[in-house]
Structure 1
Amino acid sequence: MIMDIRIEKTKTAIHNTFLELRSKKPLEKITIKELCEKAQINKSTFYSHYRDIYDLSDQLETDVVASVIEAIPNPQNCLEDPAVLAKNMFLGYLSRDTIIRILFSGTRAGELVRKVEYQLKKILFDAHPEYKQDPSVNVVLSYTVYGGYYAFFENRQYGDATVVDIISQISSEAMNLL
């Protein structure tokens, strides 16, 4: 039990230090040496948890994507109510806004929506394999995830709730094409 607490504290130190560094510089400019010095750990400790700095970043990104997907009730049935899908997806984004802006900046900017779409489609297609080759389902879902994301972040000046409501309406209309 004591070992679990130490491991958890070490991982927390690594994550917090990484996020601090990542908020100031691109992923490609962060060195393991720098991270280890700031986190006050040995390189061997870092390597016992992660292959490299990209593995650490990917694991943190995966956690964020999981939390966004968890905000969507019954993602395996997301086509039944696209307005609920869109609204909850954006509530998931908003709940992790700060970490999203840090992790998914620079060369990682497009990774959030790519990973969210991948996970959402995986869940949907595992539950409904008949949709996997349906071009309408694939295009509408991609449009909702990608289009909604970029529309949201480009139009936040109108207020998050207003923009989310509009995206939800558009998503519902797009699903009517199915």
Structure 2
Amino acid sequence: MKNPKSKQAIIDTYIDMRKTTPIEKMTVVSLCKNANINKSTFYVYYQDIFDLCEQVEDIIVEKITKSIRHPELAIDHTDIFTEEVFKSYQEYNELIHTLFSGSRRSALPDKIHQSLTELFFSLRPEYQNNPEKHIMFSYMIYGSYYAYMENADYNSQYVISVISALTKI
């Protein structure tokens, strides 16, 4: 029988453990011990640690995607879109640095790209077959992510303005 509290305990414990433990060194046994649940409870929800990892990452990606209020503006108003993406990364900064660290670092931009591409082209189908728009969109997603991650010491508005200027060229 599924218990939402047990599932949340698994997720919360997983996130807490990821702060200090790489995904490759995490075990179902240690997670269950820390969450005070039986292994059988874990397997009601997840196949293994990597399935848990993927599902938790997908939850964060969905939250980031939903927090972008105007995805349809990505091509025509790169400054607005870039700012919304940045603000979303800032809102989930701690979880991003916890869950998408180590071997999982490249998973976030890949998942964000996939999620936002599907959303954008569903809202702007006229761009679906336009290679230039695909390239620009990919550049904005990957570029903004790595600019965010690599330039945390700079003012975010400054980084946003630089990216926006680059995409307007």
Q: 1:145 maps to which residue? A: 141
AA matched with 2:104: R
State whether structure 2 residue 102 is matched by structure 1 residue 106.
Answer: yes
AA matched with 2:112: V
Cα distance in 1 for partners of 2:102, 2:132 equals 32
Moved segments of 4+, more than 6 Å: none
- Residues 67-112 of structure 1: CA distance to partner in whole angstroms, max 9, x if unpaired? 1111212324432322111100110110000010011011110010
TM-fit CA distance, 1:151:
1.6
TM-fit CA distance, 1:131:
2.3
Structure 2 counterpart SS, 1:123: helix
Please give the root-mean-square deviation of Cα atoms over the aligned residues, in Å.
1.8
How many positions carry a matched residue from both structures?
A: 169
Residues 73-112 of structure 1 aligned to structure 2 (within 5 Å): 73-112=69-108
Q: 2:24 maps to which residue? A: 28
AA matched with 2:159: V
Identity of aligned residues (%): 36
Residues 1-178 of structure 1 aligned to structure 2 (within 5 Å): 7-171=3-167, 173-174=168-169
Structure 1, unpaired ranges of 5+: none
Cα distance in 2 for partners of 1:151, 1:27 equals 25
AA matched with 1:122: E
AA matched with 1:161: Q
AA matched with 2:143: G
Q: Is the 8 A contact 1:22 1:103 kept in 2?
A: yes
Cα distance in 2 for partners of 1:76, 1:56 equals 31
- Residues 12-58 of structure 1: CA distance to partner in whole angstroms, max 9, x if unpaired? 21111111111111101100011001101011100111111111111
90-99 vs 78-87, which deviates more? 78-87
Cα distance in 2 for partners of 1:167, 1:145 equals 11
Q: Is the 8 A contact 1:72 1:88 kept in 2?
A: yes
What TM-score, normalized to structure 1?
0.87
Q: Is the 8 A contact 1:61 1:103 kept in 2?
A: yes
Q: Is the 8 A contact 1:93 1:100 kept in 2?
A: yes
Structure 2, unpaired ranges of 5+: none
Cα distance in 2 for partners of 1:136, 1:167 equals 17
